[in-house]
Amino acid sequence: MNTKNASYFQLPELTIRSENLGFVPLLNKSCLLVIGGRAPKADWLQKTAEGHALWAVDHGLDACLAAKLRPAKLIGDGDSAQPKAWQWAEEQDIPIEKFPVEKDDTDTQLALKLAHNAGFPAAFVTGAFGGRFDHALSTVMSCAFAPLPCLLADERETLLFVHAGETLSVTVKKQPKAISLLPLTGRCEGVTLEGTHWPLHEAVLTQRSMRAVSNVLESGHGILTLSIKTGLLGLYFVWHE
């Protein structure tokens, strides 16, 4: 890749590099949304929060408190955060965007819209995994088709969304247990994957047959490269189930 035009985004587990820009440089200016799924470890959240505006989304407030982090904003209907945590946010004069419990959008969907309207170029979302399947699926699809690029991550799992025309190189700092490609549109064409035990070249992946799962890095390699010509593809890493 042409390093002169490359851009980078760092996570404790991996480094994402893009030659043709795309969403990667935007992540360095993203809003960090802590939402209400499985809470990230406190030390991981403390490290990744550096340099980002931190917003708590309802139950995500409890994760912020556990990490001793004061969010710049609290968003939600107040139905899942601990009452004491919500009271603490009010006492700290943290700006609160409170919504009724009976509403169409989820708290996460509202937070993504607010981040976009506030001018953030991307959203870095944690607390997105674990818990109920319907909640997790709603979060994944909401982030995949959000009005701004998104990345989902914690210390156990990471999900990137790769759009048509983008090429990514990922340097793994901690060996993942598995790597999967998840078509999020009906067809993803021109999928080329290098650096894994099962590479792909100009492949077609379909949403109806998600067969490119549970891949691993090629022995002795710590870098994979992925490009896609059409469609929207999820690039998923898991370290701990």
CA distance 234 to 237: 10
The CATH code of the domain at 27-155 is: 3.40.50.10240
Taking 60 as the threshold, does the pLDDT of residue 5 lie above it?
A: no
pLDDT in tens, 184-201: 999 999 999 999 999 999
Instruction: List the domain boundaries for the chain.
Output: 27-155, 156-241
> What are phi and psi for residue 238, nearest 5 degrees?
-130, 135
pLDDT of residue 220: 85
Q: Assign domain 156-241 to its CATH architecture.
A: 3-Layer(aba) Sandwich (3.40)
The two domains 27-155 and 156-241 share their CATH topology (first three levels equal)? yes
Average pLDDT rounded to a whole number, residues 202-230:
95
CB 118 within 8 A of CB 4: no
Average pLDDT rounded to a whole number, residues 151-163:
97
What is the SS3 assignment for 15?
strand
pLDDT in tens, 30-44: 999 999 999 999 999
Residue 24 contacts by C-beta under 8 Å, 6 or more apart in sequence?
A: 7, 8, 9, 16, 17, 18, 168
